[in-house]
Amino acid sequence: MFDKILVANRGEIAIRIMRACSELNVKSVAIYSDADQNSLFAKYADEAYPIGESAPTQSYLNIEKIIDVAEKSGAEAIHPGYGFLAENPNLGKTCEKHGIKLIGPKGSVIEAMGDKITARKLMRAAKVPVIPGTDKGISSIDQALKIAESIGYPVIVKASAGGGGIGMRTVYEEDELLRAIESTQSVASSAFGDSTVYIEKYLEEPRHIEFQVMADEQGNTIHLAERECSIQRRHQKLIEEAPSPIMTDELRERMGAAAIKAAAHIDYTNAGTVEFMYTKGDFYFLEMNTRIQVEHPITETITNLDLVKEQMKIAAGEELSYLQEEVKIKGHAIECRINAEDPLADFTPDPGKITGYRSPGGIGVRVDSGVYMNYIIPSFYDSMISKLISWGNNRNEAINRMRRALKEYIIVGVKTTIPFHKAIMKNPDFQQGNLNTHFVDEHQKGIYDNMQKVIAEDKEMVDRLKSTFLPNKKVAAISAAVGSYIQASQSSKKIN
The reported pLDDT for the residue numbered 481 is: 52
Residues 280 and 395 in one domain: yes
Residue range 145-150: average pLDDT?
A: 90
User: Final residue of a domain: which of 57, 83, 103?
Assistant: 103
Enter the pTM of the model: 0.88
Residues 228 and 332 in one domain: yes
Residues 139 and 52 in one domain: no
Residues 261 and 356 in one domain: yes
For the chain, what percent of residues have pLDDT higher than 70? 93
Residue 383: count of CB within 10 angstroms of its CB = 20
Q: How far apart are CA 442 and CA 148, in angstroms?
A: 26
- For residue 480, is it within any domain? no
Q: What are phi and psi of 146, to 5 degrees?
A: -65, -40
Q: How far apart are CA 324 and CA 316, in angstroms?
A: 21
Residue range 39-66: average pLDDT?
A: 96
The per-residue pLDDT for range 317-335, each reduced to its tens digit, is 999 999 999 999 999 999 9
Q: How far apart are CA 403 and CA 334, in angstroms?
A: 11
Best CA proximity match to 247, nearest among 302, 322, 306? 302
Residues 297 and 150 in one domain: no
pLDDT band at 191; cut points 50, 70, 90: confident
The reported pLDDT for the residue numbered 488 is: 47
Tell me if 7 sits within 8 A of 48, measured CB to CB: no
Beta strands in 343-394 (DSSP E): 348-349, 352-353, 356-358, 365-369, 376-377, 384-392
- For residue 471, is it within any domain? no
What is the three-class DSSP state of 264?
A: helix
What domain count does the chain have?
3
The reported pLDDT for the residue numbered 310 is: 98
Residues 225 and 197 in one domain: no
Range of the domain at 137: 132-201
- For residue 353, is it within any domain? yes
- For residue 329, is it within any domain? yes
Residues 290 and 366 in one domain: yes
The per-residue pLDDT for range 230-256, each reduced to its tens digit, is 999 888 899 999 999 999 999 999 999
Mean pLDDT of the chain: 91
Residues 31 and 143 in one domain: no
Tell me if 47 sits within 8 A of 27, measured CB to CB: yes
Residues 80 and 140 in one domain: no
The reported pLDDT for the residue numbered 235 is: 83
Residues 6+ apart with CB under 8 A from 428: none
Task: Indicate which residues carry an active-site annotation.
Answer: 291
Q: What is the CATH number of the domain that holds 88?
A: 3.40.50.20
Best CA proximity match to 258, nearest among 224, 231, 285, 293? 285
Q: How far apart are CA 195 and CA 161, in angstroms?
A: 8
- For residue 372, is it within any domain? yes
Where on the phi/psi map is residue 172: left (φ > 0), alpha (ψ -120 to 50), or beta? Answer: alpha
Residues 320 and 429 in one domain: yes
CA 489 centroid distance within chain: 34
pLDDT band at 485; cut points 50, 70, 90: very low
